[in-house]
Amino acid sequence: MHPEVVDRPALVLASVRHVGPYHEIGSAFARLEAILAESRISPEPQVLAAVFHDNPQVTPAAALRSDAGVVITAESEVRAGLTRVILPAGRYLSLRHHGPYAGLPAAWAALRGALQEGGLRRADGAGYELYPNNPSTAEPEALITELYIPLG
């Protein structure tokens, strides 16, 4: 688990908004999966993502905004009940976490620490996670989560 600076392309998501503590975003993923199933769109092999819009050090937990989404093409239509979210291209500080989602708070802390230690400047914009696999297709120890913080 070594942070690195990477150049990322823009990503477009079809998403469901969650307002509340970030660790409760699972309910938004359940709604997303229900909409995708109802539309007969499987999230496999598509990549799922979580987008975190607010700083939990400043924003009360009950007001934190996040999105549970699936990566789509720029040309894709967004189904009813979903919102288009665009994550801009740019430089990001990234960390790849292997293992259960319970380890994500420590992974985010390590990424934020690397940001400070590296003398990097965080840009405005949302941090996000990408999930190349998920609990329906992988054991907890085999889960992969990519974390990204935008850089200025």
Contact between 144 and 132 under an 8 Å Cβ cutoff? The reply is: yes
Range of the domain at 132: 4-150
CATH of the domain at 14: 3.20.80.10
Query: How many distinct structural domains can be found in the chain?
Result: 1
Tokens of 57: 């050090």
pLDDT in the model for residue 141: 93
Predicted confidence (pLDDT) per residue in 96-148, tens digit: 999 999 999 999 999 999 998 888 999 999 999 999 998 888 899 999 999 99
